[in-house]
Structure 1
Amino acid sequence: MSFKTNASITQFGGQLLKLTHESKVTKTPMNVNVFIPPTSKHSKTPVLLYLSGLTCTPENASDKSFFQYWASKYGFALVFPDTSPRGAKIKGEDDDWDFGTGAGFYVNATQSPWSTNYNMYSYVHEELLEELSKEFKQLDFDNISITGHSMGGMGALVGFLRKPRDYKSVSAFAPISNPSVVPWGEKNFGAYLGNDQNKWAEYDPTELIKHFNGDDSSTILIHQGLKDNFYERELKPENFVNAAKSYKGEVDLKLVDGYDHSYYFISSFVEEHAKHHAKYLGLL
C-alpha cells in the first residue's frame, strides 16, 4: 500500500502532509493528515493519534485545533484519520448527520450492510498505523499516545482501554463517555452492532474501565465544557469517572465553565493535552 501526497504544507517549521491511500479494511480510499515536526529529542519521533468527532474530516483538527504548534514545540508527530469510510455507497449512509458518513464511531460493524466497510476500529488502531510505520520510518509507532474529541474522544478512550500496551497515554475533549445509554450510541451501536448489549460494551469506555486489567497507571485527562449543548444528554463523563474506581491511575475530569463543544473549546485547552502526552512520550 502506498500513500498519495495531495499537499505538503510547511507549518511551525514542520510539514503537514495531506494523504490518501486505499484501505483493505474499509474497502474505500481513505484520507489522513500527518504532521511531522522539525526536530525530536528521540532518534525516532513519537506520535500522537487524534480522533475527530461526528461530521469531521482530517481537515477539522489540523485546521482548527492548534495541535501542530505544540507538536512542533515538544517534538511529536500527529496523525489525523478520517471519521468513517466515504463513498461506500450503502443505502442510508448519507441520510443523517450523526450516522453513516462521518460517523463511523470507531467500531468494527457486525451487521449487514455496514460490516463490509465500517470497520474503523481495525482501520485506525491496526491498518493505518501499520501502513504509516512502513511509509514514515522516522516516526516511532511504538511510542504513541492517543486523544480525540466527542465521538473521537470515545474512540480514544476505547483504544487505550482495549490496547493498554499500545498507547502510552490518553486524553479526551468532551468524549461520548457512556455511549450505550445515550441516543447517539443507541442509534449507531444498534445499527452497526445489532441488539447484543455485550457487543456495545466492547466499545463503551464506561463499561471497559470497570473491567480494565492492564497495569497502566497513567492519568486519563478529560476536559468538558459546561455550556456544551450535548453534555448532559450525550456525553456523561461523570459516568466514566464513577466507573473508574478500580483504575490504578487517576481520571482527571476538568469541568470548565463557559465552554461549548466546538474547536474554540478544544484549542483553548490543547496546550494542556499536548503537555500531558509529551510527558508520557518521554519528551519532558
Structure 2
Amino acid sequence: MNILFVADPLESFKIHKDTTFSMMREAQKRGHQVTACEMTDVRWQQGESVTAQVREIRLTGDAATWFTETRTHRAALKDFDAVVMRKDPPFDSEYFYATHLLGQAEREGAKVFNSPAALRNHPEKLAIMEFPQFIAPTLVTKSEADIRAFHAQHGDIILKPLDGMGGTGIFKVGADGLNLGVIIETLNQGGAQTVMVQQFLPGIAHGDKRVLLIGGKPVPFCLARIPQGGEVRGNLAAGGKGVAQPISTRDREIAEALGPILVSRGLTLVGLDIIGDSLTEINVTSPTCFQEITDQMGCDVAALFMDAVEAALPNA
C-alpha cells in the first residue's frame, strides 16, 4: 500500500517520541510505501481532484538522518490507499479549512483517518459534553458572573481556553479566589472568548492519563502524565513525566462506552484524557504517546494502529 501522512515538516520530528514517526516506521516494516506532505502542499482546483505535492520517503534507521527522500511529485489524494491526517493542533481556521479539503478528497474516493467531518464535529475540549456521566463538574461560558458562581460552589477550579494545546493557558484558582478576576480577564477577553471551567481534580497528582482508543477498542496500557515541580499540569509539553501503566477498571469503563460511538463516526484513533475517575478531554486531531507506552510496557501501539487502518480498507 501507499500511505500518505499529512503532517508537520518532517525535519521538525523528534523521532525518539514522535507518534507519527512510529506509525511511519510500522508502515514501512509491513512493506508499505511511506509518503508525506504538509497541509500547505494540498490544493484543489476546479476540474481537478484534491492534490498535494508529496515526498516519497524511506526511513533509514539512523537517528541523525532518519529519512531519505526518494521522489517528489504532485498526486491526487484519492490515489493513495490511505491518507492519515496527523497535522498537530491548534484547531484554528487553517485546520478547519484543511478538513474541508480532505472532505472533498473523501468524496472523490480517498480513505482518510481520522474522518475530516468527525474532526470538525469533535472539538477536543467540548466533545466531553456528550458524555456528562463521565465528567467532573464543568462549565462552558463567556460570563464572568457564571465563572464566579461556579468558583463559589466548587472552590478549587481549573480554567482553560477552548483552543489551547499542550497545557497552554491553563490556570488553577484555589478556594480563596486569588487572582480569579485577572485570570477571567485574560481568558475571556472581556466576554469575547468562551472559557471552560472545571472542578479541580486532586487525582492529577497521580497523572493526567492518556487512554488510547484504536478502532474503537482501548489499548490496554495508558500514559499517566504526572505534574512535576509544583505544577498542576501533567502535559508532557509542560514538563510532565510520562509513566506508562495498565488502564484501570474505570478507564476501561469509559473507553468501552465511548469507543463504539466514536469509531462509528470515523474516528479510528482517539486519545481520552482521564484524571482520577473523570474524563476531561477527547483528543482526535493528532493523539500521541505511542512510543512512550511501547518503550515502557512493550505493547506495540503503532502495530495496533496499522492493524486498524488495514482492517478499514477494502483491499488491504
**Greater share of strand:** 2
Please report the TM-score for the alignment, with normalisation by the length of structure 2: 0.29
Please report the TM-score for the alignment, with normalisation by the length of structure 1: 0.32
